[in-house]
């Protein structure tokens, strides 16, 4: 579904390739998380995938075809919510459907209302983003990403601003959604437990420049409940990942 082949990228203001010959791929319908220390280049991988940044060389393929010249092949939730302040929540949610076109106003409003309800924001559609808390804005931005209808979702720390209970509720809801409509999800998080609860595989950024991602299979079948987190194999994986990240931060 998503494939990086020898991708190289450098920020103009830097003198080294932050992404340096990276290859990895995601199968259709996989849920994969990316973890790694702050500043290692995780969000950069997303910005290359959605063409916010131009790669220097290499290929990025979605569904077997190069992304060059294509649009609408992925839904992207940036790390900062980027809701348009002059639009109400509902108008923000309608945006991806307006861009896609071919959907009636009534249908857009219906889908927006349903999705708002799912993220616990029923009745907040007429507010402006500034009237929402940080966590509520994050949920609204997440709802908007789902409404792109794309098969590939890139979610950059979508739940990081949420309180613990809201976060685990949203995780369960996201898993439910994913099991129903089998989208391919690439998910960035700092939270190792969140990564293993949600994902079939966890990709760890081992080093900057990023040359490869270390892939760990998560040893739990779907459908999952939080009970799987106390399974000894899951606890072992969690501890392994935490010590790996710790080593990188100390290095």
Q: How far is the CB of 139 from ligand ATP (least distance, A)?
A: 19
Shortest distance in whole angstroms from residue 43 CB to Mg ion: 3
What is the nearest approach in angstroms of ligand ATP to the Cβ of residue 17? 11
The site string for ligand ATP over 79-108 (x = CB under 6 A, - otherwise) reads: x-----------------------------
Helices (H), 149-210: 164-181, 192-198
Report the residue from 33, 43, 150, 208 that binds Mg ion according to the rule CB under 5 A: 43
Comparing CB distances to Mg ion, the nearer of 43 and 208 is: 43
Strand blocks (E) in 99-190: 152-156, 184-188
Report the residue number, 162 or 234, with the smaller CB distance to Mg ion.
162
State yes or no: residue 180 binds ligand ATP (CB under 6 A): no
| 211: alpha, beta or left? (left if phi > 0; alpha if psi -120 to 50) | alpha
Q: Which is nearer to Mg ion, 160 or 169 (CB)?
A: 160
Rounded least distance, CB 213 to ligand ATP, Å: 12
Which helix (H) or strand (E) segment holds residue 106: the answer is helix 105-118
Tell the residue number behind the tokens 């923000």, with chain if given. 92
Q: How far is the CB of 42 from Mg ion (least distance, A)?
A: 5
* Binding residues among 24-43 for ligand ATP as defined by CB under 6 A: 36, 38-43
Tokens linked to 77: 């939730």
Residues forming a β-bridge with 3: 25, 61
Length of the chain: 251
Cβ neighbours of residue 163 under 8 Å, at least 6 residues apart? 135
Spell out, one character per residue from 61 to 100, where the chain touches Mg ion: x when CB under 5 A holds, - when not. ------------------x---------------------
Which of Mg ion, ligand ATP, none has residue 134 at its interface (CB below 5 to 8 Å by kind)? Answer: none
Among the listed residues 1, 17, 22, 44, the single contact to ligand ATP using CB under 6 A: 44
Distance CA 183, CA 152 (A): 6
Query: What's the CA angle centered on 194, arms 189 and 200, to 5 degrees?
Result: 95
Query: Rounded to whole angstroms, how far apart are CA atoms 216 and 222?
Result: 16
Q: Report if residue 22 touches ligand ATP, rule: CB under 6 A.
A: no
Q: Helix, strand or coil for residue 119?
A: coil
Binding of residue 11 to ligand ATP (CB under 6 A):
yes
Residue 52 tokens read as: 């916010």
Backbone angles phi, psi at 228, to 5 degrees: -65, -20
Q: Which option in ligand ATP, Mg ion, none does residue 115 bind, with CB closer than 5 to 8 A by kind? A: none
Give the footprint of Mg ion on this chain (CB under 5 A): 43, 79
- Which parts of this chain interact with ligand ATP (CB under 6 A)? 11, 13-14, 18, 36, 38-44, 79
């Amino acid at each position: 579904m998503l494939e990086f082949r020898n991708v190289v990228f450098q920020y103009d203001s830097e003198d080294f390739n932050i992404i340096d010959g990276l290859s990895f791929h995601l199968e259709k319908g996989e849920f994969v998380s990316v973890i790694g220390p702050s500043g290692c280049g995780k969000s950069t991988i997303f910005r290359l995938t959605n063409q916010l940044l131009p790669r220097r060389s290499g290929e990025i393929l979605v569904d077997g075809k190069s992304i060059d010249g294509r649009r609408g092949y992925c839904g992207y939730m940036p790390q900062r919510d980027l809701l348009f302040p002059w639009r109400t929540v509902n108008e923000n949610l309608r945006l991806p459907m307006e861009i896609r076109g071919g959907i009636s106003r009534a249908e857009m409003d219906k889908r927006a209302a349903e999705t708002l309800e799912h993220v616990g924001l029923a009745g907040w559609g007429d507010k402006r983003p500034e009237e929402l808390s940080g966590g509520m804005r994050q949920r609204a931005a997440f709802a908007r990403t789902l409404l792109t209808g794309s098969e590939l979702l890139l979610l950059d720390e979508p739940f990081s601003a949420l309180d613990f209970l809201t976060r685990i509720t949203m995780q369960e809801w996201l898993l439910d959604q994913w099991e129903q409509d089998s989208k391919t999800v690439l998910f960035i998080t700092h939270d190792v437990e969140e990564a293993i609860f949600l994902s079939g595989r966890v990709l760890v950024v081992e080093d900057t420049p990023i040359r490869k991602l270390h892939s760990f299979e998560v040893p739990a079948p779907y459908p999952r409940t939080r009970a799987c987190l106390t399974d000894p194999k899951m606890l072992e994986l969690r501890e392994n990942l935490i010590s790996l990240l710790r080593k990188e931060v100390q290095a």
